[in-house]
A = this chain, B = another copy of it.
Amino acid sequence: MIATKEATGALHRRIEVELECKIISGEWPPGTRIPPEQELTAVYGCSRMTVNKALSALARAGLIHRRMGAGSFVATPNKIAARIEVRDIASEIRERGMTCHFTVLESAVRRATPSDRRLLSITKGKVLGIDTIYRADETSYALERRLINLEEVPGAADVDFSRQSPGAWLLSHSPWISGEHHISAVAADPETARALGVPEGQACLRVERWVWQTKGMISYAEQIFPAIGGHQIEARFMPTK
């Protein structure tokens, strides 16, 4: 066994890290052929399964590309994929060390309007519309306009959202979800400006979130953060997953 440094952990893990270093350092530029598994078993003095585990991990992480019968090659990244973690607004405020209060401005069950149907991609049924103001240390932090599809989540109609925020309830109630975000900037319209207590036309960050489960769309939420609050979304990207 070759041991240039201490054997800190599993061998397959050390092989993975060692190869990863060669790739992200540029020693093996994109397109470089990785030594075949057979050869690596000789280098590391281990079985093929162990080498395979390391190479498979690198392939899953997108650092190499494996072609059956041909070999393994360092991948050529053409786009940057960043990862953002979107938390519930209430827990986000608390993580910043501030106290969070939220007030439900409006909460009403209604038959889906044309606008509701478009946002939730449904053709009929009832929806629950909830408008909530979030305050961080008594300062307006965000306005959330949310639609919940009662056909998919009938229990939502009976929840007291003055105690638990809609976002937190939905996450705890149906944990495994898929969805999509759209992040954009908007100028505060009169109604939004009044609700948030900011000047009309104020630059705001808008996050729209569609959430669905295997069956269908669960919820749509539009969150408006005035730029005054300094709200920002952080996203990190790394060559290794």
Contact = CB atoms under 8 A, between A and B. Distances in A.
Contact of A238 (B77, B178, B230): B178
Interface in A157-209: 171, 174-187, 201-206
A237 to B, nearest CB: 5
A40 interface: no
A183 B24 contact: no
Interface residues of A, number: 56
A186 B203 contact: yes
Given A186-B227, A204-B203, A237-B179, A79 B83 contact: no
Instruction: Count identical subunits in the complex.
Output: 2
Contact of A239 (B26, B178, B201, B238): B178
Given A80-B87, A81-B84, A83-B83, A204 B185 contact: yes
A184 B214 contact: no
A108 interface: no
A214 B236 CA distance: 15
Nearest to A182: B232
Interface in A56-107: 60, 63, 76-87
Interface string A212-233: 0110000000000101001111
Given A81-B86, A178-B239, 9 more contacts: A63-B176, A77-B175, A176-B239, A178-B236, A179-B237, A181-B236, A183-B205, A184-B231, A185-B185
